[in-house]
């Protein structure tokens, strides 16, 4: 983090993070817990990972792991019931719709199941959790949807993913419009490339291209995206509604004509 950072206070807040068994979701869950929140960490297959994240959080007994296939109405309904029991009469203060997958496939090889699998794991999942949890959210609470820079600039092989994330930005605006009557703000975080320790080895060409062209010259650290998420969810963003916060180190500013120029003047 740079100079002059702010810290957020989420004491007495109950936060639900979907996809919290994964890289970004676990970082977001950790940031909320570090700011004093009690967190429900949603997972699909990664129960052990979600429980390991909880074990490393402050006051682990306050947090809970909740499993669900997020594209299934019945499984999300059960997860919502579990969250209701955990939150009790206090309800939920923040929902972060972070779950999603991003396997690559050329358009001409993309069949219906692969297409809707990616769209649904992100967009439908966000809708099902929003529909289920918004009734538990009091005025002043907030939802953050995780989209991507690919909502604006798709990568090859990501037609389904980029379309889903562009739709997530617009879904966010629709939710802001309709949930305002409940006093719920809804915003969207669009991250650029997320750093993982195995990233350079797992995706050498993509990683090299990103670092060469992104003005920041690097991938974003999980805690940097988490900080942007906490800002959107916090009272400091009380007049920010239906907005998209792009956290990409400036990647979307780069002209496709000459990205090398940008990295040269960095
Ligand atoms: N990584 C990046 O560079 C990047 C950049 C921009 C945006 N994003 C977005 O950030 C979010 C998190 O990405 P990540 O890199 O942290 O991914 P990740 O490590 O692969 O984690 C994905 C999470 O989503 C859950 N999930 C996936 N499909 C699901 C389904 N059908 N039902 C329920 N849960 C499901 C996974 O659960 P299980 O593992 O338990 O099955 C896991 O917790 C995604 O929305 C992604 O599109 C990522």
- Examine the pLDDT at 102 and tell me if it is beyond 90: yes
pLDDT, position 2: 74
pLDDT in tens, 13-35: 999 999 999 999 999 999 999 99
From the CA of 193, give the closest atom in ligand 1. Answer: 3
Whole-number Å distance between alpha carbons of 227 and 159:
29
Q: Is the domain defined by 14-265 classed in CATH 3.40.50.720? A: yes
Q: Per DSSP, what are the bridge partners of residue 246?
A: 190
At 257, the pLDDT band (50, 70, 90 cuts) reads confident
Can you give the residue ranges of every domain in the chain? 14-265
pLDDT, position 258: 62
Which residues line the pocket of ligand 1, CB cutoff 6 A?
19, 21-25, 43-46, 69-71, 98-102, 121-122, 125, 146, 148, 191, 193-194
Residue range 93-121: mean pLDDT, rounded: 98
Residue 137: its H or E element: strand 137-146
Whole-number Å distance between alpha carbons of 38 and 61:
9
Q: Is the pTM of this model over 0.85?
A: yes
């Amino acid at each position: 983090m740079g100079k002059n950072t702010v810290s957020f206070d989420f004491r007495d807040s109950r936060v639900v993070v979907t996809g919290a068994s994964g890289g970004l979701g676990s970082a977001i869950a950790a940031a909320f817990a570090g700011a004093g929140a009690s967190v429900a960490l949603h997972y699909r297959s990664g129960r052990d990972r979600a429980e390991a994240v909880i074990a490393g959080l402050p006051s682990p007994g306050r947090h809970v792991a909740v499993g669900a296939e997020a594209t299934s109405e019945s499984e999300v309904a059960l997860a919502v019931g579990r969250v209701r029991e955990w939150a009790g009469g206090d309800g939920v203060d923040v929902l972060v719709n972070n779950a999603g997958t991003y396997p690559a496939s050329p358009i001409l090889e993309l069949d219906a199941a692969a297409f809707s699998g990616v769209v649904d794991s992100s967009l439908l999942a966000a809708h099902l959790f929003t529909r289920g949890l918004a009734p538990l959210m009091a005025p002043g609470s907030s939802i953050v949807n995780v989209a991507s820079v690919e909502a604006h600039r798709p990568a090859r092989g990501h037609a389904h993913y980029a379309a889903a994330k562009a739709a997530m930005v617009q879904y966010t605006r629709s939710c802001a419009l309709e949930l305002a009557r409940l006093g719920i703000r809804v915003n969207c975080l669009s991250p650029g490339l997320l750093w993982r320790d195995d990233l350079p080895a797992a995706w050498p060409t993509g990683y090299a291209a990103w670092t060469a062209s992104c003005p920041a010259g690097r991938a974003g650290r999980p805690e940097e995206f988490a900080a942007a998420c906490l800002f959107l969810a916090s009272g400091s963003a009380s007049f920010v509604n239906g907005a998209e916060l792009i956290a990409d180190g400036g990647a979307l500013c780069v002209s496709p004509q000459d990205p090398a120029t940008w990295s040269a003047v960095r």
